Amino acid sequence: MATSSSTPAPTAHPLPSYLQAEHLGPWGIFLQQVDRVEPYLGNLARWVETLKRPKRILVVDVPIHLDDGRIAHFEGYRVQHNTSRGPGKGGVRFHQDVTLSEVMALSAWMSIKNAAVNVPYGGAKGGIRVDPKTLSRGELERMTRRYTSEIGIIIGPTKDIPAPDVNTNEQIMAWMMDTYSMNQGSTATGVVTGKPVDLGGSLGRREATGRGVFTVGAEAAKRIGLDVAKAAVAVQGFGNVGGIAGKLFAEAGARVVAVQDHGGAIYREAGLDVPSLLKHVAEKGTVAGFEHAEAMEADKFWDVPCDIMIPAALEQQITKANAHRIQARMVIEGANGPTTPEADDILHERNVLVLPDVIANAGGVTVSYFEWVQDFSSFFWDEDEINKRLVRVMQQAFAGVWQVAEQHKVSLRTATFIVACERILHTRELRGLYP
């Protein structure tokens, strides 16, 4: 029935309390980022509420038998933020501080990241609130398999494809793939990425995120006149992302002068021996105790004189409390969400160029896409081919973001959101609403 002119037009229903920004930590940060980009979306802004409401949130109980006979319960999550451009894609993290807000935000950043590099995925993320270091290998396997069974109703090679994240790895992905395959009654290698190569994993996947960080950093350095071969680099977190990025910068001639992780921080003005440090971290699990450097207080890391800083640990590390102390010309976000909006503004005012996570660390999902494609075709590429394709994708994506930033006179983060949100919302508009 037609609505009379005197009848007020219906408005969007307010966001449920658990989706609102003011008390939501990482999810609130994402909502602020969306609000900043909305003025640049033109007619597509009518669809912007799509980005503020995850498509699907699944919270599951994960009960397992412990080795001593007791039964333990863990809380697990899988969030699919948006699937307009393709199946959900995003990692699974095992960490004692995992929250629904965090997983929601990470899934949303995956939507942005996948659209920014133009791979045909939506955004998703998962996690279990657990300290995996407290579990035996058998307990870890049982928890992984139970979690996979619980979220099995929404994942699949054409629905949602998990991958490794914090405290998860190739072995975890192998257990997830096997569990899903057993429940399906056939081997489904494409249900996860980041698997062992012998189970359909891709060469180059483990190093891909760090390689992407280096590639984007090198491209940005050219544009601001920074010679990477003469640069001093500080890295927070020295695992698959920070460690590989540090190694590639060192191989390009840069000095990695400082590294901080959960165990402590180290410094050497002349530059750290990165291969030796990587070996030390593999053996000890931390940079602390590395004998070819001087130890320093962890908080002093933010005061280190450097040209490039790479936060590659966890969210919300650069805040309004420490952003003014950073001396770098460029910050490359290897971690997801390491910089708060307030800190972003401070760095922008100080002319520190921030390469945002949603483009800088997209190398991992790009090679995950390559892995997924290889699994579907059962035809696998060599590592050189994968690395060349990765570099090409990252360079093209960064060039597009840089152009949009210059066009609108905005930060690279806002520019990346403009590119990604336009792609997501244009797809949403083309698809329309069903029914």
Catalytic residues: 125
Peptide bond into 120 cis (omega under 30): no
**Rounded Cα–Cα distance for residues 352 and 323 (Å):** 10
Written as six digits, the tokens of 396 are: 């093209």
Written as six digits, the tokens of 377 are 């075709």
Q: State the DSSP string of 300-367.
A: GGGG---SEEEE-SSSS-B-TTTGGG---SEEE--SSS-B-HHHHHHHHHTT-EEE-HHHHTTHHHHH
Peptide bond into 435 cis (omega under 30): yes
Q: Quote the CA–CA distance of 207 and 194 in Å, as a whole number.
A: 11
Q: What value does the CA radius of gyration of the chain take, rounded to a whole number of Å?
A: 22
- Please name the amino acid found at residue 137: R
Quote the distance between the C-alpha of residue 377 and its chain's center: 26
**Does an H or E element contain 192, and which?**
none
Residues 356 and 101 sit within 8 Å (Cβ to Cβ): no
| In the block, residue with structure tokens 């000095």 | 255
Alpha helix locations (H) across 38-191? 100-116, 137-151, 170-184
Under 8 Å between Cβ of 84 and 56:
no
Is residue 151 a contact partner of residue 61, using CB atoms and an 8 Å limit? Answer: no
E-assigned strand segments in 138-211: 160-164
Strands (E) across 178-250 are located at 232-236
Q: How far is residue 106's CA from residue 124's CA, in Å, rounded to a whole number? A: 7
- Residue type present at position 351: N
Count H helices and E strands in the chain, helices first.
Answer: 12, 12
Cα distance between residue 371 and residue 23, in whole Å: 38
